[in-house]
Structure 1
Amino acid sequence: MPVNRIRFSVAAHAAWAPGEETALAAMPAMLRRRASMAGKMALQAAYAAYPAPAAESAAFPESGRQDIPVIFCSRHGECGRSADLLIDLARGLPLSPTAFSLSVHNATGGLFSIARRDHANSLALAAGSSTVEHAAIEACSLLADGAPAVLLAMADGPLPPMYREFADCDEQPFGWAWLLTAAPDAAVPDTDTISLCWSAAENDCATDGKAQSGGLQVMRFFLNGEDTLQRHADRRLWTWRRERPQ
């Protein structure tokens, strides 16, 4: 059975959890007010993990600020805003142009790039229950294409009430961000080097809706310093591993 594999290092990381503030002091108030809750979670983590201009120049001296691509990934994205628009439409109410413009999947990435005046490549990604894995694959593709680093930010939360019966996992709010760089040939001390392998699986494991979402599982795997995480999602077996120096 074919097995595929990617490797990367995490140069910086940040995470948001319920109970923490999403002040977004680094973002202008006019833009900050437009972000949804999920957007604020992703942005809070992205600002914390993304290097400041001076730090970036030191870490990546051969690149400029605008050479670092950004990936915002979320399984549900702005689903709540879209649901509100559909409800207004069903009631015959006028639709807000601002709400409509912010209901798209790349709304958070757009706010981030506008606030930072950043013209770098910006992507918005959703890939079902394996969204986090496909985001990592996309990030490694950008690294292989010559990017000096890639900022990957992920956030999700519960589905809107009108869609909640379709939830297939325990949707808890979370947000995190990694600044990814190419992995060294071998793991080195004080460096988080992660590998991700995947292979075809005949069937996904049945769940009762109580399993954590993929993005939350990966966040906890990383923050808890675990060696391995295995997940079944979208007819594949995904295996995350933390590489340790020999």
Structure 2
Amino acid sequence: MSVINFNIAQWRAWAPGLESVDDWQAWSRQPVVLEPSDAAPDVSFLPAMQRRRLSRLARMAFSVGWPLADGHPDLPLVFISRHGETPRTFEILSDLATDQPLSPTQFSLSVHNAVIGLWSIMRGETSEMTALAAAGDGLEHGMLEAAALLEEGAPAVLLIVTEEQPPAAYSAWIDDVPFPYAVGLLITPGNQWQLSLNSAPHTLSKARWPHALNLLRTLLGQQTTCQHAWKNRVWTWQRNP
């Protein structure tokens, strides 16, 4: 078993129609799958020319991360997305299938570390940044990365996990994105939270909601423990009094 300790100093989240703390409080009490929507978060804090380059996935990441980074210069970033820019990738593949010329810009912005590259450019940020594409427990792997950065002396780490609704053609393979969402956590040293890992002797059933959303429900509620199982790994989040 391994254990890490940390504080969640601040958090922000976005999904279509869920922007304020009150919105998320209401959803966490009665979680439902949101209706399909083309809505995108407000990123008017960015210049118009820069906003034009951002996909909705990037806008979601920026909308939750930018306010959390305010007042924290030299802030390391851990960006987590299991599926990444699936809409952009699908467009590129569709162009290939019909012998259409490919867009170099579309390709450069479809790679998994494009979001942290844009973040670095737009914020003038040169701190360490990591983009992870772990499987069903990517959030926990991101927390391990954040804990390592804190151990190396970072006063805070920004962790962003986000997923875009995949194109319908992927629906037979991608079934873990009930709706587009982004969750940002400002992680600092401390003992407010403890994350531990245990092994299960067999594969456990998949959770109803992505774990970032289950963790958000824990943050908003009175529970002190939140568990997440993936394959034979069982992660336990424990909030200390």
Q: TM-score range by the shorter chain?
A: 0.7 to 0.9
CA contact (8 A) 1:157 1:171 kept: no
Selected match of 1:6 from 4, 13, 37: 4
Paired position in structure 1 for 2:226: 229
CA contact (8 A) 1:10 1:180 kept: yes
Aligned length: 220
Selected match of 2:139 from 129, 132, 138: 132
SS in 2 for 1:183: strand
Structure 1 residues 109-129: Cα deviation after superposition (integer angstroms, max 9, x where no partner): 111111111111111111110
SS in 1 for 2:62: helix
Amino acid at match of 2:210: S
* Equivalence map 1:34-45=2 (5 Å): 34-45=53-64
Paired position in structure 2 for 1:199: 198
Cα distance in 2 between the residues matched to 1:222 and 1:127: 23
Amino acid at match of 1:73: I
When normalised by structure 2's length, the TM-score is: 0.85
Selected match of 1:46 from 40, 65, 87: 65
Q: 1:172 offset after TM fit, Å?
A: 2.0
Selected match of 2:95 from 74, 77, 88: 88
Report which stretch shifted further, 99-108 or 155-164: 155-164
Gaps of 5+ in 1: 57-64, 185-192
CA contact (8 A) 1:13 1:48 kept: no
Amino acid at match of 1:163: Y
Cα distance in 2 between the residues matched to 1:233 and 1:128: 9
Gaps of 5+ in 2: 20-39
CA contact (8 A) 1:170 1:211 kept: no
Q: Does residue 104 of structure 1 match 2:111?
A: yes
Amino acid at match of 1:180: I
Q: 1:214 offset after TM fit, Å?
A: 2.0
SS in 2 for 1:108: helix
Computed over aligned residues only, the root mean square deviation of the Cα atoms, in angstroms, reads 1.7
**Aligned-pair identity (%):** 38
Cα distance in 1 between the residues matched to 2:201 and 2:91: 38
Q: Does residue 175 of structure 1 match 2:175?
A: no
CA contact (8 A) 1:31 1:111 kept: no
